[in-house]
Amino acid sequence: MLKNLGTWLDSRTGYKHLVHEALEEPIPGGARWRYVFGSALSGTFMIQLVTGVLLMTSYSPSSSTAWGSVWYITYKMDWGWFIRGLHHFGSQAMVILLLLHMVQVVLAGAYRGPREVNWWFGMLLLFVTLGFSLTGYLLPWDQKGFWATKVATKIASGAPGIGPAIEKVVVGGDDYGNQTLTRFYGLHVGVLPALLVLFLVGHIALFRKHGVTAPAKAQGSEKFWPKQVFYDTVATVVVFGVLAYFAWKEGAPLDAPADPGSSNYPARPEWYFLSLFQLLKKFDGRYEFVGTQVVPGAIVLVLLLMPLFDKLLPRRFAHFLACMFVFSLVGGAGYLTIEAFREDARDPSFVAGRKLADDATKRALMLAKDRRGGIPPTGAGDLLNHDPLTRGMAILEQKCLGCHSYEGKTQAGPDAPMRGFDLAHFASNEWIREFLADPSHPKFTARVPTAPGAKTSKRLDGMVKWQESRGIDDKNELDQIVSFVARLGEIPADVTVEEWAANPNLKNQWGYKIFVENCLQCHTAGNLGSRGKEVSAPSLFAYGSPQWLAKMIKNPETKGYYAFLKSHERMPGFADQLTPNDLEMVIRLLRDDFIGMPEKFTPQGGRGRVYTAD
Ligand code: HEC
Ligand code: HEC
């Protein structure tokens, strides 16, 4: 019955001939383990193809959605981590197997006539594979891939003549952006697979035409089926096993979302391009083109011409040279790669940069997972950009800590132009309590010793004077005033000072009386208890609220803020230095209005890496 069906099918399709071609190919000298690399490569490519298509069903190629979709695949989708892990490590396996395959081919002399053309097909496959890695690395649109790819295209752009044109076409403009991502994606899932299949068909067809290169003293012959097929299958299964192990144990990494504006990311290419990168360093400066063009170009040229050396030199000598060349190539690249890793490990600025990058990664993964956070609809780039703890802290470090401190952290040396308060937990209950209990504590003292000889108002130590002359020692009184002042920061932005002062309930608020009696000799708060004196202290209306802080940071010279100081004594205004988002992030940071960092979290429930606070 089955046999009949087989005959029927064969008479329609001729499949038996194909099977015969595929499986009964004779192998002179018999099946061997060392012939498995080519098949293992094809097998790994199949894994890449299948996992790649699966990834395509969930990946979304645009600069605002790419990171989010990869995050979703990795941490939310059923088996997404596994599929992506296989694909991630599969790409590295391809590079390694390619190297092994190439070394084996050269050792066996299989690059020589009549197989020259097949060697060249192999070279084409090598370039396509590297192209896959390069384009694929950018697709998650995370910091690591973004900067690595930038380094790589920078190298390519140095190619004489066509370099800049290539760069422009591939990058899709002058700088990296959405166009770059869509172009790389097009190359990765359209152009390169087509090329690879094309070259692979040519490669295998030619391989079948010439057969394996048997060792000189090989005897007898064996058919492809079953032994070699078995070896090849085992090799592919082993590769799959190793990939699955890495996917499970390590997981494909995902760095913080790409931030084209970041200036301190320690950019490094993927490890298999690292040797080239290291080589570049050696030719830094005027001879850079030697590292980017001459050396790689010469290597490729020698590889291409290798089969032809047989015609010029004695065959055995040519083979010997070819082996030496490939060995020194692999050895040299290996050496440079190790050197690159070692140099980085010893370089404090790289280590520090890496630590910052890892912190950002941790933060991004935590925010993406958090219920209150999540990936903003405007794109994953805003995940950290809209995070007070990341963006606000960065602004604080850039612009504020020259005078202020944050939890004691400061860049203000002993000769800082001015000294402001510690800004952590600004105007919170505890902060106000500490301040009123001891305004002369170093944390709170504002000194203004600017230009020598410049006269400084005595008003600056107003609160210290207040403490000396009166102060509040009584615990109950202190509780009352702290409560009253802390609530000033909760006054909504649309309430005017008149409306607030006219509210009949205000007088009943806890601490009202003490506030009016103690504070309004110097401070103002609308018309409350106004003594009609010259204003010599900031207004306390809505003190510590977002709107108060915005004014204070943008224009401290505004009336009701620090207008009573001379300009050289006053904090400079930042109105034209901060974007609205930056200002908001700083204010929310000062007001502790952000999602805290847990001691420990996993980006995904149950499985995968655990991130700890430090
Ligand atoms: C050149 C030094 C200097 C820099 C830079 C500076 N400040 Fe100030 N800041 C001061 C001084 C001094 C005061 C005290 C009030 C005054 O003299 O204007 C102050 C006051 C403040 C206050 C009011 C509460 C308080 O501590 O008295 C806030 C809030 C504040 N600064 C936030 C910031 C922020 C946010 C930045 C960065 C964007 C910043 N400051 C940058 C010197 C500085
Ligand atoms: C003797 C006058 C005087 C009295 C009384 C006084 N203050 Fe002040 N206060 C000042 C001056 C001057 C400053 C600005 C310089 C400084 O920060 O030391 C100031 C600053 C402050 C600040 C910091 C403002 C900022 O920019 O962050 C707070 C808060 C504050 N006072 C609260 C109070 C409270 C509450 C009372 C009543 C219990 C009070 N003050 C009583 C003179 C006074």
Q: How confident is the model at residue 610 (pLDDT cuts 50, 70, 90)?
A: low
Whether residue 388 has a cis bond before it, omega within 30° of 0: no
3-state secondary structure of 158: coil
DSSP state of 202: H
pLDDT(234) > 90: yes
Annotate 496-554 with DSSP letters as a single string: -HHHHHH-GGGGGSTTHHHHHHHHTTT-BBTBTT---PPP-S-B-TTTTSHHHHHHHHH
Nearest ligand to the C-alpha atom of residue 590? 1
pLDDT at 453: 53
CA-CA distance, 399 to 380, in Å (whole number)?
25
- Tell me: the pLDDT tens digits for 158-170? 777 788 888 888 8
For residue 456, give the ligand nearest its CA: 1
Q: From the CA atom positions of the chain, what is the Rg in Å?
A: 35
> What does pTM read for this prediction?
0.88
Nearest CA to ligand 1 atom 41: 400
At 337-365, the pLDDT tens digits run 999 999 999 999 999 999 999 999 999 99
- Would the CB of 484 count as within 6 Å of ligand 2? no
Instruction: Indicate if ligand 2 lies below 6 Å from the C-beta of 537.
Output: yes
Name the residue ranges covered by the structural domains of the chain.
23-356, 425-450+457-578
| Beta-bridge partners for 600 | 612
C-alpha distances out from residue 449 to 265, 416, 420, 445, 571, Å: 37, 9, 12, 12, 12
H or E element at residue 28: strand 26-28
- In ligand 2, the atom with minimum distance to the C-alpha of 564 is 12
- Which atom of ligand 1 lies closest to the CA of 549? 29
Q: Which atom of ligand 1 is nearest to the CA of 460?
A: 17
Q: How far, CA to CA in Å, does 179 sit from each of 61, 255, 443, 510? A: 10, 21, 50, 60
> pLDDT, tens digit, for every residue of 262-300?
888 999 999 999 998 899 888 877 788 888 888 989 999
pLDDT band for position 533 (50/70/90)?
A: low
Which CATH number applies to 23-356? 1.20.810.10
Atom of ligand 1 nearest to the CA of 577: 38
Q: Nearest ligand, CA of residue 420? A: 1
Pocket test for ligand 1, best of 399, 403, 436 (most atoms within 8 A of CB): 403
Whether 291 and 282 have beta carbons less than 8 Å apart is answered as yes
In whole angstroms, give the CA distance from residue 270 to residue 147: 10
Rounded mean pLDDT, 402-408: 88
**CA pair distance 537, 558, nearest whole angstrom:** 12
By alpha-carbon position, which residue is closest to atom 24 of ligand 1?
Answer: 421
pLDDT at 193 over 50: yes
CA 12/CA 32 separation, integer angstroms: 35
